[in-house]
Structure 1
């Protein structure tokens, strides 16, 4: 199945409006001397197809299809691949792929305190570390046992931060998605040297379930580097820390929290925010985004200088994505499921916003659930599903790479046939 707007000349739809004159912006294209055809610049910038293929494998599959289509059409194309992510699952791998470096492994603990090995990434110059919090406190790692929402802790992330600091990182990019925890980041800050104590001076047990007993926070034992490093937090939600739209109420159920647990966790997070406010004057309970990942950023934000940035924007900065997208004539992106959420904080959203208004953006997805009108309003030229007929999710997942390659071939072959006649009109012949 495909949903597209190719019934019109390609230039006529741009960012949800019908143009009456061809666009004139953008770098001039040159003719291939042999075929007198456009040498098309294609940027392939997909997210992972979660559960089926990582962003790197998806990008390579799309590139294979695009190259085969160009060869079959007798066209010259310049293809740039940039595996992408939205700051959640898969961000570490996408960044490592772009940096051409290997992730580093660290012995630590999962959300329930069990020994695990987690990864983090370090830039080639050693100045920027990227940490995917779910490597140490993610839901998948504790899916083998009953969830314990009151006890789950972010403590294991601390080992990753400590290792990054030891290696000399001056900037830490912390990606929040996929957590099993609702402890306000107290476990992480505790691992870095902070103490969260009750009225009797006793250290609180791990997890958000004990935070209602919080009386004081001692940061005298925190490594000075924690306060000196530049913190960038990838955050794709605007939920506050507490209340009906807060961390416990909105995200607690997926972490195993029942109604009574939600009440306990919300009360604990309120107490944490109150104590931080008393100590530092920073009132974070209602601050947008502080509810992400069970309030993971709250303890850091209470005592350190942190910057909350939409995940796709943060990844775009790291990967220099805007420069690549702005140089492209055609952008192909994709993800497992294209729906209304894709247009709010996800990779597809970031790609369309970072591309030039006159650049064609095409999406390839496992399933497409947006109407032609919604695609046009979003500035997406076309969206194609990799499902060529009735198929189960298992079949699509197992054959994803081949299906993505075949779909990319069809998309690019069609685009070259439809778009090139118009594109010739604005070419500059050397």
Structure 2
């Protein structure tokens, strides 16, 4: 019997690799002779770097970069292992995320994505020829201006003087000079894990949708939305690329637009990028059962999350799929329409959150054992 174990991490509790091991430990109590294939998965958001380096025996690279408020922060990216050693996986939030800015200091007029550019530059300097970037969790609304500045682009004002790469800087740009843009990017395969479809500007754009959580006032929102529109017009006029209305351009405060306007990057759903990188189809062939899961399964799980992504892949081979979760939320039954055959929660009794986190590994192993016993009885 071959079983593929392909869960996401359980946020604040277990990494995807730890979830894999807990599930295998429980299943082995019933099926000690089975073949187990662990595939730690993520959907392109938080935890993607750790999942992919765990799955490929890659390397975590830590370094100090410029944070959203231009103070140094400790960040990281991953270099994949095996046949993918020329691939780097970067979560922009590692350098430019909201968690780097105290709530009382949040101001998207001032925050910059410069540190994300520094991560990319470090990866290029170490021979990387493919970049996978996750865009969630940003503190920025600078249209990727800071990132591009770190990579050699110059943004100039009316007097042809350089402008700071932040939200307010967008309002001052008159000229975009790409002569210094790192030439290696032209030969780099860049995939953007993007699970939002927001355009750059307007009612559904980056600022109106996400600006408030980054500290924008109503006045800031109007200013920054107009600034991004101005920025998009300059990109079209001076670089010949139209980015304003593309779905996903508004991701991470307009970072999606920066990649689309200045590189040959492609935007894809995060789970598709991750599963392709992990070569999930090869892992699934010949399997009898797939176990997936995430910390909480609810109606949102049906929309681009790991369990459904794994289930869709498994159903190409008619493999049964069981999802295990820490807990179940509203309308979790929606996942049944997307290839998941059964869902179970691990919490065995009423628990406070701290205890649930502390017992997660034990409870997940026990749940996996019980699922195996039920499966055995049904056969």
SS class of match (1:70): coil
Q: CA RMSD in A?
A: 1.7
Alignment match, 2:64? 107
For structure 2, the 5+ residue unaligned runs are none
CA shift for structure 1 position 373 = 5.2
| Pairing 1:397–2:357 present | yes
Match of 1:384 in 2: 344
| Unmatched tracts of structure 1, length 5 or more | 1-39, 421-430
Distance (whole Å) between structure 2 residues aligned to residue 143 and residue 221 of structure 1: 34
> Counterpart in 2 of 1:412?
372
1:47 Cα shift?
0.5
Task: Give runs of aligned pairs for residues 55-70 of structure 1, distance below 5 A.
Answer: 55-70=16-31
* TM-score (structure 2 length as normaliser): 0.95
Q: Does 1:286 align with 2:245?
A: yes
1:9-408 aligned at under 5 Å gives the runs: 40-71=1-32, 76-124=33-81, 126-143=85-102, 146-357=105-316, 358-369=318-329, 371=331, 374-408=334-368
Alignment deviations for residues 77-125 of structure 1 (CA, whole Å, 9 cap, x no partner): 2111111001111010011111212211222111111112221222346
Structure of greater Rg: 1
Give how far 1:370 is off: 5.3
Higher RCO structure (Cα 8 Å, ≥6 apart): 1
Write the distance in 1 (CA, Å) between the matches of 2:376 and 2:196: 38
Deviating above 6 A after TM superposition, structure 1's stretches of 4 or more consecutive aligned residues are none
User: Which segment drifts farther, 373-382 or 113-122?
Assistant: 373-382
Provide the rounded CA distance (Å) in 1 between the counterparts of 2:303 and 2:103. 32
Alpha carbons 1:126, 1:168 under 8 Å: kept: no
Tell me if structure 2 keeps the 8 A contact 1:367–1:385: yes
Count of residue pairs brought into register by the alignment: 376
- Measured in 1, the distance between the counterparts of 2:119 and 2:338 equals 38
Say which SS state the counterpart of residue 290 (structure 2) adopts.
Answer: strand
Q: TM-score, normalised by structure 1?
A: 0.84
Cα deviation for residue 44 of structure 1 reads 0.6
Question: Which range is displaced more, 202-211 or 277-286?
Answer: 202-211
